[in-house]
């Protein structure tokens, strides 16, 4: 049984009850949305994961990517990243490790967080294929499905799998004038496999078998966007849309099978096309939860891509995206460190709050009202508590000489609020 099959059978699970309480929404509404596939609750049956609802009518959620590379293998650092992610309010974590003992790294991350944890199994599949056959692109179906099953048994809550890349999708790519080609690493593995071996994508041709496996462990399928544009110049092109059409068809098959599913979206989109992309996805995929990287509305902000991502993410979430994957300042430069994780997460959480306020989310507005009252009352501790990052403003305040307890140092004795308050007392 999965959250979706239970919902379809009018069964309210404890996870649905938890999400309903967190969102301040009637649990029967949550059940109906899960049954229809409009909301997912990534929760592997083998793991005591904190339930998180992702989908329409819920708060915008934020994911953190972490993981090793072949050049930087430090399990302790990845554990610290996971702890920081939970401390600063992430809703989920993805382990994208490609260096070191991947099962051990995954085990330690799963052990050190209660958040839902996702993976991209193609990374491990590629490594196993290279070790066994000498090349990443020589994987076979046994390696693919054995790896997916092993990760499911370990407790992974959601998996990004590039099921929508087909021979026809690649024909579309080859006939297009893209500048950057395929920038998705997992998508590149599948694309190169199809092009070299002239075989169909096993994740597509054996999709029903994949669904049986995921359903057994209630792993949420995150349909990867292997043809996503890697620069603004390639946005909303034929390969991207062709893959999305296939993903929409696969969403239907997931729902029929009772497997929870969400769809991943592009990372590089000019601001004036963000809303269009969200509407296309929601239409083609029949309101499946939408998971976007950023998006980034300019390619010129290396070192500041967390800011770029927050700008794009706010508009994307307002326009229909449900799940924002953070982007750190280190994007396009190097592997992120702990500080990058913190900055990227805070930036995406700011974007999520901005979008939720614009959408009229009652919980988001309640916090805004609390902050307004705290500022009127000069209640600094409450302001720190409500801030998305409490530590930074608190440290800023502590660094100042305590000349005026109520006002900040910008206005000091000329504080507008204090001036009117004092006048009212006379």
In 95-227, which residue ranges form alpha helices assigned H by DSSP?
Answer: 102-111, 121-133, 141-154, 167-174, 185-197, 202-205, 207-217
pLDDT at 405: 66
**Rg of the Cα trace of the chain?**
23
Q: Is 30 helix (H, G, I), strand (E, B) or coil?
A: helix
**Which tokens in the block code for residue 170?**
């690649």
Q: How many whole angstroms separate alpha carbon 300 and alpha carbon 213? A: 42
Q: Residue 293: what pLDDT?
A: 94
Predicted pLDDT of residue 54: 98
- The pLDDT averaged over each successive group of 10 residues in the chain (426 residues) is 97 98 98 98 96 98 96 95 97 97 96 97 96 94 97 98 97 95 95 96 98 98 96 96 97 98 95 97 98 96 97 98 97 93 98 98 98 93 95 86 63 68 66
Give the per-residue pLDDT at 400. 73
In the block, tokens 């995406």 appear at 348
- Residue 341: which residues within 8 A CB-CB, separation 6 or more? 64, 66, 81, 84, 85, 328
Residue 10 DSSP code:
T
Please state, in angstroms and rounded to a whole number, the distance separating the CA atoms of residues 307 and 260.
32
- Ranges assigned E (strand) in 147-260: 158-161, 220-223
From the number of C-beta atoms within 10 Å of its C-beta (0-12, 13-18, 19+), residue 10 rates as exposed
Dist. CA 411–CA 307, nearest whole Å:
28
Q: What is the pLDDT of residue 398?
A: 84
Q: Where do we find the tokens 């004036």? A: 272
Question: Quick one: pLDDT at residue 1?
Answer: 87
Give the domains, in start order, of the chain with CATH numbers.
40-358 (3.20.20.540), 363-425 (no CATH)
């Amino acid at each position: 049984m999965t959250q979706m099959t239970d919902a379809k059978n009018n069964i309210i699970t404890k996870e649905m009850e938890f999400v309903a309480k967190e969102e301040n929404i009637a649990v029967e509404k949550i059940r109906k949305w899960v049954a229809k596939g409009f909301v997912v609750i990534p929760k592997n049956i083998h793991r005591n994961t904190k339930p998180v609802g992702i989908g329409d009518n819920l708060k915008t959620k934020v994911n953190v990517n972490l993981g090793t590379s072949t050049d930087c293998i430090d399990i302790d650092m990845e554990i610290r990243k996971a702890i920081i992610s939970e401390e600063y309010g992430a809703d989920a974590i993805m382990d994208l490790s490609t260096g070191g003992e991947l099962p051990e790294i995954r085990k330690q991350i799963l052990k050190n967080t209660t958040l839902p944890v996702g993976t991209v199994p193609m990374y491990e599949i590629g490594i196993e294929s290279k070790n066994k056959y000498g090349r990443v692109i020589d994987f076979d179906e046994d390696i693919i499905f054995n790896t997916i099953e092993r990760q499911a048994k370990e407790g992974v809550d959601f998996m990004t799998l590039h099921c929508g890349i087909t021979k026809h999708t690649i024909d579309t790519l080859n006939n297009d004038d893209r500048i950057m080609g395929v920038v998705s690493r997992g998508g590149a593995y599948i694309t190169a496999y199809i092009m070299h071996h002239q075989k169909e994508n096993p994740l597509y041709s054996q999709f029903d078998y994949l669904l049986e496996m995921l359903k057994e462990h209630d792993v949420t399928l995150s349909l990867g966007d292997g043809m996503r544009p890697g620069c603004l110049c390639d946005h909303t092109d034929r390969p991207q849309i062709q893959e999305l059409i296939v993903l929409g068809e696969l969403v239907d098959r997931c729902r029929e099978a009772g497997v929870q599913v969400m769809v991943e979206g592009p990372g590089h989109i000019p601001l004036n096309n963000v809303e269009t992309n969200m509407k296309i996805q929601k239409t083609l995929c029949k309101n499946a939860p939408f998971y976007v990287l950023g998006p980034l509305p300019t390619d010129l902000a290396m070192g500041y891509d967390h800011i770029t991502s927050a700008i794009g993410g706010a508009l994307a979430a307002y326009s229909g995206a449900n799940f924002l994957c953070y982007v750190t300042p280190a994007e396009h430069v190097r592997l992120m460190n702990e500080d990058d994780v913190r900055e990227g997460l805070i930036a995406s959480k700011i974007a999520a709050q901005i979008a939720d306020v614009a959408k009229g989310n009652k919980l988001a507005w309640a916090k805004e009202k609390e902050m307004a009252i705290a500022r009127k009352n000069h209640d600094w501790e409450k302001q720190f508590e409500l801030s998305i990052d409490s530590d930074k403003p608190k440290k800023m305040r502590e660094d100042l000489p305590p000349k005026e307890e109520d006002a900040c140092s910008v206005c000091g004795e000329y504080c507008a609020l204090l001036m009117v308050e004092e006048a009212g007392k006379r």
